[in-house]
Structure 1
Amino acid sequence: MRGIGEVAKASGLAVSALRFYDGAGVLVPASVDPVTGYRWYSDAQVRAARLIAGLRRVGLPVAEIAAAVREMDEPDAVRRRLHRHRRRLEDGLADAQRELLRIHALLDLEEKLMTRITLPAAALAASLDAVRFAAAAEPDGLLPAVLFDAGDSLLTLAATDRYRLAVAELPAAIEGPPVRLSLPLAFVDGVRALPGEITLDLTGEGVRAESGGAVVEGKPLAVDFPDYRRLTRRTTEPVARVTVDTQRLREMVQAAPVAKREHDGSAYDLVIFGLDPEGSVRVATESEWSAERHVAVNREFLLQALDAGGAGQLLLELDGPIQPLAVRVPGGSRFSILMPVRND
Structure 2
Amino acid sequence: MLSIGDLARESGLSVSSLRYYDKVGVLVPHTVDPHTGYRRYTFDQVDQARLVAGMRGIGLPVREMVEVLRGDDPHGVLAAHVRRLERALDEARSQTSRLHSLITDRVTPTSSATVSAGALAAAVESVLYACDPHSPFAALRGVLVECDGTALRLVATDRYRMAVTEVAAPGSDEFSTLVPSEFLRTAVHDHLPGPGVASLSRRADTVTLSGPAGIARATALPETFPDYRVVLAPRPGTVGELDRDRVRRASTAETVSVRCGAGGRVRLAAPGVTGGADDTSGPQVLVPARHLREAVDALPGGRLTVTTAGPWAPVELRAADAPGTVSLLMPVADA
Superposed CA deviations along residues 13-55 of structure 1, whole A, max 9, x for unmatched, are xxxxxxxxxxxxxxxxxxxxxxxxxxxxxxxxxxxxxxxxxxx
Q: C-alpha displacement at 1:305, in angstroms?
A: 0.3
Greater alpha carbon shift after TM alignment, 182-191 vs 291-300: 291-300
2: CA distance, partners of 1:188 / 1:279: 36
Q: Which amino acid aligns with 2:311?
A: P
Tell me the equivalent position of 2:242. 244
Residue aligning to 1:113: 109
Partner Cα separation in structure 2 for residue 326 and residue 169 of structure 1 = 16
Q: What are the within-5 Å matches in structure 2 for residues 169-318 of structure 1?
A: 169-176=166-173, 178-193=174-189, 194-195=191-192, 196-212=196-212, 214-234=214-234, 236-238=235-237, 240-251=238-249, 253-254=250-251, 258=253, 269-275=254-260, 280-284=265-269, 293-318=283-308
Local SS of the residue matching 1:248: helix
Contact 2:316/2:327 (CA < 8 Å) preserved in 1? yes
Of residues 151, 155, 158, the one that matches 1:154 is 151
Change (3 A) 1:200 1:311: closer
Structure 1 pair 323/116, CA: closer, same or farther in 2 (3 Å)? same
Q: 1:175 to 1:327 in 2, by over 3 A?
A: closer
Amino acid paired to 2:207 = V
Distance 1:184 1:209 in 2: 12
Overall identity of the aligned pairs, in %: 27
Deviations 1:108-144 (A, max 9, x none): x996332121112110010111111001123545510
Mapped to 2, the partners of 1:131 and 1:325 lie a distance apart of: 16
What secondary structure is seen at the aligned counterpart in 1 of 2:122?
A: helix
Matches within 5 A, 1:98-137: 112-137=108-133
Q: For 1:264-283, what per-residue CA distance to the aligned partner results, in whole angstroms no more than 9, with x for missing partners?
A: xxxxx211231456652122
What's the secondary structure of 1:241's corresponding residue?
strand
Amino acid at match of 1:306: V
SS at match of 1:119: strand
Normalised to the residue count of structure 2, the TM-score between the two structures is 0.59
Which runs of no fewer than 5 residues in structure 2 stay unpaired? 1-104, 272-280
| Distance of aligned partners of 1:276 and 1:186 in 2 relative to their CA distance in 1, 3 Å threshold | closer
Q: Which has the larger radius of gyration?
A: 2
Residues in 1 aligned to 2:264 and 2:146: alpha-carbon distance in whole angstroms? 37
Deviations 1:222-249 (A, max 9, x none): 1221112221011x321x1012232333
Give 1:213 shift.
Answer: 6.2
CA distance in 1, matches of 2:213, 2:297: 32
Return the TM-score normalized by structure 1: 0.57
1:179–1:312 CA distance, 2 compared to 1 (3 A): same
- Which runs of 5 or more structure 1 residues have no equivalent in the other structure? 1-108, 259-268
Q: 1:277 to 1:237 in 2, by over 3 A?
A: closer
* Structure 1 residue aligned with 2:332: 341
Q: Deviations along 1:58-110, whole A, 9 cap, x unmatched?
A: xxxxxxxxxxxxxxxxxxxxxxxxxxxxxxxxxxxxxxxxxxxxxxxxxxx99
CA contact (8 A) 2:147 2:172 kept: no
Cα distance in 1 between the residues matched to 2:326 and 2:116: 21
Aligned-partner Cα distance in 1 for 2:316–2:136: 26
- Asked if 1:327 corresponds to 2:317, the answer is yes
Q: Give runs of ≥4 in structure 1 deviating > 6 Å.
A: none
